[in-house]
Amino acid sequence: MATLRIRLQVPKKYRDQPLMGDVLASCQLQFNILAAHLGPNREEDGWFDVMLTGTPEDITAALAVLRDRDIELWSDTEDEF
């Protein structure tokens, strides 16, 4: 198993959708939300700080799905995912 801590921007168009659950569960990952800045009446994008746990292949797949949805990702690690 591998772990990766990432921060991701959540565009306001995804505010009413279960983005994290749908994408990450479909890739068979466990995730822990460490921090978040979201709100139902926000006019701006929000963000999540999450710890992903799973195989390197599943983490790579989840990151690809998030990027395909134009989710901006940040990580402090040099790991190749």
Domain presence at residue 70: yes
Q: How many domains does the chain have?
A: 1
pTM of the model: 0.80
Judge whether 39 and 47 are in contact, CB under 8 Å. Answer: no
The CATH number assigned to the domain holding 36 equals 3.30.70.260
Domain presence at residue 67: yes
Q: List Cα–Cα distances, 43 to 16, 47, 54, in angstroms.
A: 13, 13, 33
pLDDT digits over 10-62, tens only? 888 877 778 777 877 788 898 899 998 877 666 778 888 999 999 999 999 99
Domain presence at residue 80: no
Query: What is d(CA 52, CA 40) in angstroms, rounded to the nearest whole number?
Result: 25
Residue 48 belongs to what domain range? 2-75
